[in-house]
Amino acid sequence: MNTSSLLETNESVKVAYSYESNSKKAAAEIISQLGTQNYAFILVFISPVTNPAAIIKDLVSLNPHTSIYGCSTAGEITFEGNTEGAIIALGFLNDHFSVRSLVFPNLDDFSIRDGQSRVANAVNQFQAARSPSKPHPFALMMVDGLCYKEEQLLSAFNYGLRDIPLLGGSAGDGMNFKETIVVHDGHIFKNAAVLLLIESKNPIHIFKSDSFIPTDIKFVVTKADPENRIVYELNAMPATTAYANALGMKEEDLDELTFASHPLCVCFGGECYVRSIQNIHDKNAFSFYCAIDEGIVFTLSDIDDMVKGLTRTFDTIRNDIGEPQLILGFDCVLRRMMSEINQSKGEINNLFQANKVVGFNTYGEQVRTMHLNLTFSGIAIGQ
């Protein structure tokens, strides 16, 4: 597919994408669209229906002098809105951005103390090399969406980052939940995380937008396997039974659409944060996208108007930095499912197009110190 008419050309970030199934053709199309400009780095989001390893290999062979980072997705967001089957590339021009990167492989062996030390050392080097012409720093995180390590990583990263704001997304695998990948400097990693320290000449605005309404119904986690994010009991009842009873449903009718429509959240400090159910682990237990533990109190929630929530978010961005030239967005895959159920996908796509949103659907979103679900988060890059 020729997407040249859909490209957004500006002075600091160029966007290219391809729907080609052949990796060589897709890579050639993307590199042709990006052109020969001097990029600080290229960010790539890859549909799992393609061959990510082949895509990255071919992109590197065509552009060996620019570092490539990225991840697999649960869906993509191009300048057309939500889509599937795309390979997206964002080229960040060297005159406007600089980057320093870290990769954390083998997350089963991840140590918070080691992570804190590595990030702190990288931040010291990053700060020492900062350019006065690029006064806006931020950190971008991409992590295997099936690693169950997001909270530990955030704890380590934010300690080392100090006052540098962080955002990011958990890599996806469509709705397969089998294998996700991250890309660091042109190399593919599984069970790993990538952290980019970026300085920007352009003003930035980091945001999150959610659309749910807490109810008065509460659940206490009374039996769980925190390491594997499995909840066996809520209110001393089988988890699926307690949840289905609260909704007036039969347990056999529970599915991903139910979980997206009626999320569970944790409320504290006047804020509520979704802890979404991923699927039914076995007959009566739930697997979750986010960390859980025994004793946690969940609040049952309902989905609010996502279109109104997004409109407010985009208005806030403009009030802060003016008209954005690009919004790098991480949108929970459950929100995409909800938009299809309530038939708001068209309106949301219109909003994404009008606000130049590019990104991917995630298994989880990271904003500063929090790992979230059912959230649209990201960074707006100003003129």
Tokens for 194? 């990538």
Of the pLDDT bands very low, low, confident and very high (cuts 50, 70, 90), residue 369 is confident
H or E stretch covering 273: strand 271-274
Nearest to residue 285, comparing CAs of 220, 223, 333, 334? 223
Question: Closest Cα partner for 326 from 316, 336, 314, 334?
Answer: 314
The strand order across the sheet containing 166-170 reads 97-104, 193-200, 136-143, 166-170, 365-367, 370-372
Sequence spans of domains, the chain = 1-209+305-383, 212-303
- In the three-class reduction of DSSP (H, G, I as helix; E, B as strand; rest coil), residue 165 is classed as coil
Provide the pLDDT for residue 309: 87
167-222 pLDDT tens trace: 999 999 998 889 999 999 999 999 999 999 999 999 999 998 887 788 889 999 99
Is residue 308 very low, low, confident or very high in pLDDT (cuts 50, 70, 90)?
Answer: confident
Beta bridge partners of 121: none
| Residue 258, CA distances (Å) to 198, 244, 300, 354, 380 in order | 38, 10, 12, 30, 31
Q: How far apart are CA 55 and CA 81, in angstroms?
A: 22
Average pLDDT over residues 329-358: 90
Per-residue pLDDT at 10: 52
* Sheet of 87-93, strands arranged across: 13-18, 87-93, 39-46, 68-72, 182-184, 187-189
Give the pLDDT confidence score for residue 288 in this predicted structure.
Answer: 87
Q: Which residue has the tokens 């997304």?
A: 169
What tokens does 48 get?
Answer: 């799992």
Specify the amino acid at residue 341. Answer: I
In this predicted structure, the answer to whether residue 282 has a pLDDT above a threshold of 90 is: no
C-alpha to C-alpha distance for 78 and 87, rounded to whole angstroms: 9
Which of the four pLDDT bands, split at 50, 70 and 90, describes residue 3?
very low
pLDDT of the residue at 20: 93
Residue that has been written with the tokens 């057309």 in this structure: 80
User: Which pLDDT belongs to residue 36?
Assistant: 85
Which among 314, 328, 257 is positioned nearest to 77, based on CA atoms?
Answer: 328
Give the angle 204-148-142 at the CA atoms, nearest 5°: 30
Residues 270-282, mean pLDDT to the nearest whole number? 80
pLDDT in tens, 124-165: 999 999 889 999 999 999 999 999 889 899 999 989 998 899
State the pTM of this model: 0.85
CATH class of 212-303: mainly beta
Contact between 327 and 246 (Cβ < 8 Å)? no
Decide which of 269 and 377 is more confident: 377
**Above 60 in pLDDT, residue 9?**
no
Model pLDDT for residues 33-50, shown as the tens digit of each residue = 999 889 999 999 999 999
Task: Kindly report the number of other CB atoms within 10 A of residue 281's CB atom.
Answer: 19
Average pLDDT (258-277) is 81
